[in-house]
Amino acid sequence: MRHWLWGIVIVGLAALARPASAQTYPDHSIKLIVPISVGSVTDVAARLTAQELQERLGQPVVVVNRPGAAMVLGGTDCAKAAPDGYTLCLVSPDTMSFNPLTIPNLPYDPEKDFVPVIHMYNVTEGLMVPGGSAIGSLDQLRAKAVAEPGKLNYGTLGERTTTDAFRQWLGEHWNTKFVAIPYKGGSEITSALLGNTIDVTKIGVGNMVSQIKGDKVKVLAITASHRSPQWPDIPTFAEAGFGAYPAGPIYWGVVVPTGTPTPIVMRLHDELLKIFQSPRFTDFAHQNFLEPVAGSTADFATFLKKDRQSAQMLVDRYMK
């Protein structure tokens, strides 16, 4: 009888402890896992977010970069973390939509292992070539690619990633081939483009703003719905004839491990919503060709479901 009563006491104390921990959250440092390398525009955005969140929560928020393996490393670390609100994770289409469809025995399940917190932003990407390239327009890129199939190096984030899917789609669209050169993050692709190691890539324009202004990189088209006021001569993807590309936007969002107490999830959402709607963040986003989204946790969950459907179409076509 005593053992039975003692069991009830333990269960009761545990139940009381859960809301108490949410009420005192946070009481120590928080980790923000970023699944790409240091230096990319998303890494900079993550560090800005961490700084703002630290000021709001009163505890250190430490960015931990886990690049490589098509973002599997970051996703795995997130899934294995304690569901206590002290591990936040940045996720992208690769983490949430493509990896489950393309990587056998993936160490995590994005639908079971993560709880959506908030949609940070969508990325305006650009199809780019080195500034010193003889290619100066989409027509010239297409002419060279068609005349010399398999000769142009294309920078990607690795096999079976969103960047590589577009490489394959573009080759099929133009009836030619591009050679995939994999990198761990946007900063490495930037260096490769500047060093003429690659001939073309599609990457976030925010990674290249200063290089574009310095004529070290040429942007041939952008993924935005409208032309940029900064560069009105650059066509959109739709204007360039790429409107049939079936993928959704490249995005970044925040999730936490499944099991994180709902009050903590909502506290994080509310603080991050304020950050992503603040003038400091929105100014940074616009300067770096990012489109803030924010919204509710339910909005982000709905978006993720639709993105997986788009990813399925690409995977069935190019990644099997």
Q: Are residues 94 and 160 in the same domain?
A: no
| DSSP 8-state class, residue 117 | E
Query: Which residue, among 269, 275, 276, has the nearest Cα to 299 in the 3D structure?
Result: 269
pLDDT at 95: 95
Task: Mark residue 261 as left, alpha or beta (left: phi above 0; alpha: psi -120 to 50; beta: remaining).
Answer: beta
Q: In 3-state terms, what secondary structure has residue 162? A: helix
Q: Are residues 64 and 38 in the same domain?
A: yes
| DSSP 8-state class, residue 124 | P
Residue 141 lies in a domain: yes
CATH number reported for the structural domain that contains residue 130 in this entry: 3.40.190.10
Are 146 and 176 in contact, with CB atoms under 8 Å apart? yes
Q: Are residues 311 and 261 in the same domain?
A: yes
Q: Are residues 152 and 208 in the same domain?
A: yes
Q: Are residues 204 and 293 in the same domain?
A: no
Tell me which of 222, 239, 260 is where a domain ends: 222
Q: Are residues 131 and 215 in the same domain?
A: yes
Q: Are residues 111 and 134 in the same domain?
A: no
Residue 10 lies in a domain: no
Cα distance between residue 254 and residue 132, in whole Å: 38
Tell me which of 163, 188, 222 is where a domain ends: 222
Residue 69 lies in a domain: yes
Q: Domain residues for 64?
A: 28-123+248-319
Rg of the chain over CA atoms, in angstroms?
22
Q: Are residues 49 and 113 in the same domain?
A: yes
Q: Beta strand pairing status for 153-156 and 179-182?
A: parallel
Residue 208 lies in a domain: yes
Q: Which helix (H) or strand (E) holds 191?
A: helix 186-194
pLDDT in tens, the chain (320 residues): 444 444 444 444 444 444 446 789 999 999 999 999 898 889 999 999 999 999 999 999 999 999 988 899 999 999 999 999 999 999 999 999 989 998 999 999 999 999 999 999 999 999 999 999 999 999 999 999 999 999 999 999 888 788 898 999 999 999 999 999 999 877 899 899 999 999 999 988 988 888 999 999 999 999 988 888 888 999 999 998 888 887 888 999 999 999 999 999 999 999 999 999 999 999 999 889 999 999 999 999 999 999 999 888 888 887 76
Neighbouring-strand partners of residue 126: 203, 222
Q: Looking at the 3D structure of the chain, how many domains does it have? A: 2
Are 223 and 131 in contact, with CB atoms under 8 Å apart? no
- DSSP state string for 227-284: --SS-TTSPBTTTTT-TT------EEEEEEETT--HHHHHHHHHHHHHHHTSHHHHHH
Q: Are residues 133 and 198 in the same domain?
A: yes
How many Cα atoms occupy the beta-carbon half-sphere of 130 within 13 Å? 17
pTM over 0.85: no
Q: Are residues 73 and 33 in the same domain?
A: yes
Residue 185 lies in a domain: yes
What are the structure tokens assigned to 255, written together? 């999730």
pLDDT at 320: 63
Phi/psi for 221 (5° steps) reads -165, 155
How many Cα atoms occupy the beta-carbon half-sphere of 207 within 13 Å? 30
Residue 137 lies in a domain: yes
Residue 231 lies in a domain: no
CATH number reported for the structural domain that contains residue 90 in this entry: 3.40.190.150
Q: Are residues 59 and 119 in the same domain?
A: yes
Q: Are residues 208 and 143 in the same domain?
A: yes
Q: What is the 3-class SS of 20-51, one letter each residue? A: HHHHHCCCCCEEEEECCCCCCHHHHHHHHHHH
Tell me which of 222, 256, 275 is where a domain ends: 222
Residue 241 lies in a domain: no
* Cα distances (Å, whole numbers) of residue 228 to 131, 194, 235: 19, 23, 9
